[in-house]
Amino acid sequence: MRYKNNYEQELKDIVKQKNLTYHIDTMGCQLNENDTLKYKGILESIGFKEESMENANLVLFNTCCIRENAENTLFGRLGALKKKKKTMKNVYIVVVGCMTQQKHILEKMKKSYPYTDIIFGTFSMFSLPEKLYNLLKNNKKSYEYVEDSMDILEDVPIKFDDKYKASVSIIYGCNNFCTYCIVPYVRGRERSREPEDILNDIKKLAQNGYKEIMLLGQNVNSYGNDFKDKKYTFAMLLEDIEKIDGIEIIRFISPHPKDFKDDVIKVIGKSKKIARQIHLPLQSGNDNVLSKMNRKYTKKDFLELVDKLKNADSSISFSTDIIVGFPGETEEEFLDTLDVVEKVKFDQIYMFIYSKRNGTVAATMEDKVSYEEKVERLERLKNLYEGYLPENNKNMIGKIYKVLVEGKSKNNDNLYTGRTSQNKVVVFEGAEDMVGKIKNIKITSEHLWYLKGEIV
Ligand code: SAH
Ligand code: SF4
Ligand code: F3S
């Protein structure tokens, strides 16, 4: 489906006449951040100007429901906006995204937050202009629930915040139904974008000076599985992106360990552009818990995959996601998770305490682990991680890394920052004309959350 705004001129006139501004508040993952760039593109294409939350006329919340606290965040912020509606003229509140893709939440919001103007979920981005038209012109609110859709929206105007790094969605939805996870219920089934659409987007970005591309999907390595008319895989996509002049760094999140096949490992091994950092979500290191989570790999499979990737290039660094306190997780089972962490020594770990999501399979499992115990496990995981991290960083001292210079350091005007291919922040003496360029930097010291280096 190609994006088309049938109300463009009328909307432009209204927005101009009322001099309207917008602000987007984004919660959740990089997929939501990518959607936000599209919402910004749509709003700016009809004349809205970006503003702070306090001063903006239209506030759009792009919501997340992955854990309970994500939902509470929204309700808190919405409450605070009620006053704004009373004290300021032309205030409009729009709520979209994963959270409002749940019917019971939409119903709750209609009842408890009647001052919201537009609510829809993850399948209705294309209809934002129509809904805005009805609101701005006819004062008509819209609360819409679309159960499911296999549509892929192309040609959406998109406003990138960064000048050198851009994210590109390659596959939407998820078919995996990990038992703890709400995503398959709010993002629909897997659907891959056409290779030409992706490659054209990236070519355009390269022409506009972008150097680094982040490919996005809930499970990037199932890319192409849904094509009926052709065989075109994630490995083939990576190879085609490699050929695009101007793009120097390629990243992707998230691959699922169960779908990480040898063809992709081979492509990574010989690639000059794919970042030497791979995000491999572990979730748990214990076979029984992994099975209850429906992850479809074992501790052994995971460790073998790490070895294969290291054999392809020993400089690859790993990041991961871990859930502690899955229903019924025993102390012994948790120790398996610590064991994998100890063995792989991930450079970055996103750690979460299990959060019960209604509608998922795990929500019906008996959970005897107390909250205090879960917090304590999280703490032990954090201590283990922070204990070995300096050693990981020390191993980088004296070596030379390719770094995309991102800009001035926040705290010191002479210093600049960038990230190595391994996604480590490096601080070094630089100059303004280096921003946006790739430099070779030798690491000189480590400081837990960043490294210091010098240009060679
Ligand atoms: N598709 C990606 C990640 C999606 S959500 C993947 O499979 O890796 C990001 C992370 O949130 C997950 O990896 C998981 O660690 C965490 N998460 C998902 N559901 C959760 C829940 N109910 N409680 C706690 N953490 C959860
Ligand atoms: Fe959720 Fe699993 Fe899909 Fe990731 S792969 S989005 S954790 S169901
Ligand atoms: Fe949240 Fe939706 Fe992402 S639930 S983590 S914003 S896919």
Q: Which atom of ligand 2 is nearest to the CA of 219?
A: 5
The type of residue at 221 is: N
| 142-143: strand order across its sheet | 49-50, 21-26, 58-63, 92-97, 118-119, 142-143
pLDDT in tens, 241-292: 999 999 999 999 999 999 999 999 999 999 999 999 999 999 999 999 999 9
As a whole number of Å, the end-to-end CA separation of the chain is: 48
Q: Which atom of ligand 2 is nearest to the CA of 254?
A: 4
Q: How confident is the model over 85-103, as a mean pLDDT?
A: 94
Cα of 292 from ligand 2 centre, angstroms: 14
pLDDT greater than 90 at residue 197: yes
Cα of 267 from ligand 1 centre, angstroms: 27
Which residue has tokens 């191993």? Answer: 395
User: 289 Cβ partners below 8 Å, 6+ apart?
Assistant: 283, 326, 329, 333, 336
Closest residue CA from atom 3 of ligand 3: 29
Q: Which atom of ligand 3 is nearest to the CA of 70?
A: 1
Ligand 1 site, residue 145, Cβ cutoff 6 A: no
pLDDT greater than 90 at residue 294: yes
Mean pLDDT for the chain overall: 95
Cα of 304 from ligand 2 centre, angstroms: 21
Residue 421 has a pLDDT of 83
Closest residue CA from atom 5 of ligand 1: 66
Ligand 1 site, residue 221, Cβ cutoff 6 A: no
In this prediction, residue 213 has a pLDDT band, given cuts at 50, 70 and 90, of very high
**DSSP helix/strand/coil, 63:** strand
| Maximum pairwise Cα distance, the chain | 65
CA distance 381 to 307: 22
Measured from the alpha carbon of residue 175, the closest ligand is 2
Supply the angle between the helices 331-344 and 299-312 in degrees, to the nearest 10. 10
Q: How confident is the model over 444-455, as a mean pLDDT?
A: 92
Cα of 257 from ligand 1 centre, angstroms: 14
Residue 390 has a pLDDT of 92
Closest residue CA from atom 7 of ligand 3: 183
Mutation test residue for ligand 1: of 72, 181, 290, the one with most atoms within 8 Å of CB? 181
Cis peptide before 254 (omega within 30 of 0): yes
Q: How far is C-alpha 344 from the chain's CA centre?
A: 23
Q: Which residue has the higher pLDDT, 412 or 163?
A: 163
pLDDT in tens, 409-444: 887 888 999 998 888 999 999 999 999 999 999 999
Q: What backbone phi and psi angles, to 5 degrees, belong to 171? A: -145, 140
Cα of 21 from ligand 1 centre, angstroms: 34
Helices assigned H by DSSP within 345-401 = 371-394
Cα of 294 from ligand 2 centre, angstroms: 10
Ligand 3-lining residues (CB < 6 angstroms): 28-29, 31-32, 64-66, 98, 182-183, 186-187
Ligand 1 site, residue 337, Cβ cutoff 6 A: no
CA distance 449 to 390: 9
**All domains of the chain in start order, with CATH:** 8-143 (3.40.50.12160), 160-275 (3.30.750.210), 400-455 (2.40.50.140)
Ligand 2 site, residue 183, Cβ cutoff 6 A: yes
CA distance 5 to 128: 9
Beta strand 212-216 pairing with 165-169? parallel
Ligand 1 site, residue 279, Cβ cutoff 6 A: no
Q: How far is C-alpha 306 from the chain's CA centre?
A: 22
pLDDT in tens, 369-407: 999 999 999 999 999 999 999 999 999 999 999 899 999
Mutation test residue for ligand 1: of 341, 352, 355, the one with most atoms within 8 Å of CB? 352
Cα of 10 from ligand 1 centre, angstroms: 42
In this prediction, residue 79 has a pLDDT band, given cuts at 50, 70 and 90, of confident
CA distance 86 to 315: 57
Which secondary-structure segment (H or E) carries 106? helix 103-112
CA distance 435 to 440: 13
